[in-house]
Structure 1
Amino acid sequence: MEEPVAPRDKIQPLLTNELTIINVGLEGFAEDMAAEGAAVIHLDWAPPAGGNVRLAELLSKLGG
């Protein structure tokens, strides 16, 4: 059986290692973070049907 790891031992690497930011949606946020020298992965995403719930429901019925 493995010995339990103290919570501080799990968190410490998050505070001391280089972070990579995953940006979802607005590209401007990714650009701002990159300008500050952060490592950034940008995911170009938008909600289905532009966020229109009714249209998204209709589209999901068409898609199966």
Structure 2
Amino acid sequence: MSDKIQKLFGSPLVVINVGTRRMGDALVKQGVTVAQVDWKPLAGGDKKMQDILSMLGGS
């Protein structure tokens, strides 16, 4: 294994959580460092609205 890979696996784990906050909280309880990202899909996931915004240059 290369030195870079060994160094990576020897480093502390940091998780970027794009899921629910509950999922991140469960990891924190296990001692994992978590960066919570509050992300929502464009237009709340509404495909028709996404298409309209795309036509208007919104994405």
TM-score when normalising by structure 2: 0.78
* Contact kept? 1:30, 1:42, Cα under 8 Å: yes
Q: Does 1:34 align with 2:25?
A: no
In structure 1, the residue matched to 2:2 is 8
Which amino acid is the alignment partner of residue 12 of structure 2?
E
The structure with the larger Rg is: 1
Using the aligned pairs only, state the percent identity. 40
Stretches of structure 2 that go unaligned for 5 or more consecutive residues are none
Taking the aligned partners of 1:24 and 1:39, their CA distance within structure 2 comes to: 14
Q: CA RMSD in A?
A: 1.7
Q: Does 1:55 align with 2:46?
A: no
